[in-house]
């Protein structure tokens, strides 16, 4: 009986030693590096004009820094834009295109269907609207035909701040090459200009640079 008890005790000890180490907590539930939120204070530090919509030419289109910060943070989470370099570029891009978040439609010269905070051209607006509102909604909007149809498609993605501000994050995550995104992550002026010329397919206009320099400094300082 004594021998039997010893054997049982030894077996229990061995099984205890061999017990598997508990798994680490689920990373999805406990993210090590959650997407950092953009704050209204950061946006006003980058572009003081975003503090208020006072005097906006089209008040119904204007979003102040508080609205923009909430919408941009949601977009960065949705499209997993987690690096300071990419976040800064998107903020700078939208600030320039929307005149400090004062517009979400093209008014000069007034091109039908062009808009969101990145002033996307109608073909990209349609792609984006299809992604966030669905193909059926886009087909129904286009049924109006002509300029009315283009504007109806734009309305699908301008109906709330999250969609309107989310356009550039969607664009970067779906339309830009890996090399362009790597340049944005690096946070270099060369990477910023490559984004403009190779992905946006516009010129590297020096007037775009101040917003990028300011956004890069503020966003990187916060991370």
Q: What is the pLDDT of residues 125-164, one digit of tens each?
A: 999 999 999 999 999 999 999 999 999 999 999 989 999 9
Is residue 73 a part of any domain in this protein?
yes
pLDDT of residue 36: 59
**Whole-structure pTM value:** 0.84
Q: CB atoms < 10 A from the CB of 51, how many?
A: 15
The C-alpha atoms of residue 129 and residue 132 are separated, in whole angstroms, by: 5
Is residue 165 a part of any domain in this protein?
yes
Is residue 16 a part of any domain in this protein?
no
How does pLDDT run across 85-104, given as a tens digit for each residue?
999 999 999 999 999 999 99
pLDDT of residue 137: 98
Is residue 1 a part of any domain in this protein?
no
**Per-residue pLDDT averaged across 8-29, rounded?**
38
Is residue 88 a part of any domain in this protein?
yes
pLDDT of residue 34: 52
Is residue 107 a part of any domain in this protein?
yes
How does pLDDT run across 201-215, given as a tens digit for each residue?
999 999 999 999 999
CATH number of the domain that residue 87 is part of: 1.10.530
The C-alpha atoms of residue 155 and residue 59 are separated, in whole angstroms, by: 17
Place 8 in a pLDDT band, splitting at 50, 70 and 90: very low
Is residue 23 a part of any domain in this protein?
no
Is residue 177 a part of any domain in this protein?
yes
The tally of domains found in the chain comes to 1
Q: Please give the residue range of the domain that contains residue 179.
A: 37-221
Q: Among 167, 208, 169, 161, which Cα is nearest to 61's?
A: 161
Q: Is the peptide bond before 109 cis (omega within 30 degrees of 0)?
A: yes
């Amino acid at each position: 009986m004594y021998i039997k008890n010893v054997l049982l005790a030894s077996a229990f000890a061995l099984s205890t030693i061999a017990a598997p180490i508990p798994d680490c907590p689920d990373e999805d539930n406990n993210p090590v590096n959650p997407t950092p939120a953009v704050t209204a204070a950061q946006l006003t530090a980058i572009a003081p004009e975003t503090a208020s919509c006072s005097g906006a030419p089209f008040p119904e289109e204007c979003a102040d820094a508080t609205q923009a910060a909430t919408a941009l943070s949601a977009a960065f989470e949705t499209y997993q834009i987690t690096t300071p370099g990419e976040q800064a570029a998107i903020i700078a891009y939208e600030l320039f295109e929307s005149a400090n978040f004062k517009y979400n439609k093209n008014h000069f010269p007034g091109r039908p269907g062009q808009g969101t905070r990145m002033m996307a051209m109608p073909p990209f607006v349609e792609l984006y609207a299809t992604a966030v509102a669905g193909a059926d909604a886009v087909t129904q909007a286009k049924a109006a035909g002509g300029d009315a149809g283009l504007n109806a498609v734009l309305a699908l993605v301008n109906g709330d701040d999250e969609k309107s501000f989310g356009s550039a994050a969607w664009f970067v995550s779906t339309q830009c090459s890996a090399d362009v995104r790597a340049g944005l992550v690096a946070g270099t002026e060369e990477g910023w200009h490559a984004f403009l010329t190779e992905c946006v397919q516009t010129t590297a206009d020096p007037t775009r640079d101040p917003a990028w320099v300011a956004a890069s400094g503020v966003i990187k300082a916060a991370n």
